[in-house]
Structure 1
């Protein structure tokens, strides 16, 4: 006899219900025992003295401080910095203009 999953009036599978009931009870008892175990752990931790913090190991030798750099006996003069665009001469400006398409027209005679 083949079971028809769509026919709910002919429900002949009590093991399915048994399995659901078994899982329900298993979950409840497991949760109950887990709760008891957690409470016993909390009580045990309250009775147990707290662990002492471990002392941090101190370095055996302090690190030597770096020696300061000797001061320069003769300070060097600062170089003069040209202003922006000061490197261009008049000829370079004209040449730059020619490169950009601003050519001068030459007339003969």
Structure 2
């Protein structure tokens, strides 16, 4: 029974990863490039940092874009804090396991 639960957990994790990949249009190559470790031959240089700061000062300020989440637009902070898991619909709830899988 424990092996079966481990297999279910692995399948659930793989499904979550697949959904994230599909939703964000990610590729395996993009994931590999995220975790690729490349040796950095450059040493930190205060003169280079000063030059970069001066170039940034010359450019026009671009504010950070504000992202709105559909369904959460216009709710108060107190309403947002009341969002919680629904334990009655947890996956593996009725299997008497020491863990459950919750989704928002």
What's the TM-score, normalizing by structure 1? 0.23
Between Structure 1 and Structure 2, the one with more helix by share is 2
What's the TM-score, normalizing by structure 2? 0.24
Considering Cα pairs closer than 8 Å and 6+ residues apart, tell me whether 1 or 2 has the greater RCO: 2
Kindly name which structure, 1 or 2, has the bigger radius of gyration based on alpha carbons.
1
